[in-house]
Amino acid sequence: MSGNNVSHSNRHTKTRFKANVHKQTLDRDGTPVTVKICSRCLRSLHKSPKVRKAFAALK
């Protein structure tokens, strides 16, 4: 995703918005798995049992 940085003098410069991705070690079926996951997805994983069940079903 992209957009503009706008200064106080109203100059526009291009910027890119990137996902907040981290390497995280998660437990899947009793085995630790290292995945790259964004912070928002990690929050959903801890909060929702449906998302947790879907993650466990992944290969």
**How many residues can be counted in the chain?**
59
Q: In the prediction, which pLDDT does 59 show?
A: 63
CA angle 53, 28, 39 (to 5 degrees): 75
Band of pLDDT at residue 50, cut at 50, 70 and 90: confident
Q: What are the tens digits of pLDDT across the range 7-19?
A: 999 999 999 999 9
Residue owning tokens 């706008």 = 6
What is the distance between the alpha carbons of residues 9 and 16, in angstroms, rounded to a whole number? 21
19-29 tens-digit pLDDT: 999 999 988 88
The pLDDT of residue 2: 93
